[in-house]
Structure 1
Amino acid sequence: MTPSSKAIQLPPADLEDRCRKAEEDTVTTMSYLAVIQSEARYIISLGPKATQDKFRGLYTAILSHWFPVSRGYIVSRQVFVPGEYPEYFVIRPAGGFRNPIFVFKLKRPSEWTAAGQQMVMDELVDLMEGRFEFTQYNTIYGLGCIGLHWMVCRMQRSGGHQPSLVLDWQDDIASDASYSKFGAIAELVYTD
Structure 2
Amino acid sequence: MARDLPAPVPDRGGWRVDTGLPAETRRHVFAAACPGLVELGATVAEPRVLLKLAAPHAELAALLPPRWRLEPLAHVMTCADGFGAGGAPDLSGGYRLSVARDGDRAFARIAAPDGALAASGHAAERDGVFIYDRIVTEAAHRRRGLGRALMLALQRTRRSPAARQVLTATADGRALYASLGWQVHCPWSTAAIPE
Give TM-score scaled by structure 1 length: 0.31
Q: Which structure: greater helix fraction? A: 1
Give TM-score scaled by structure 2 length: 0.31
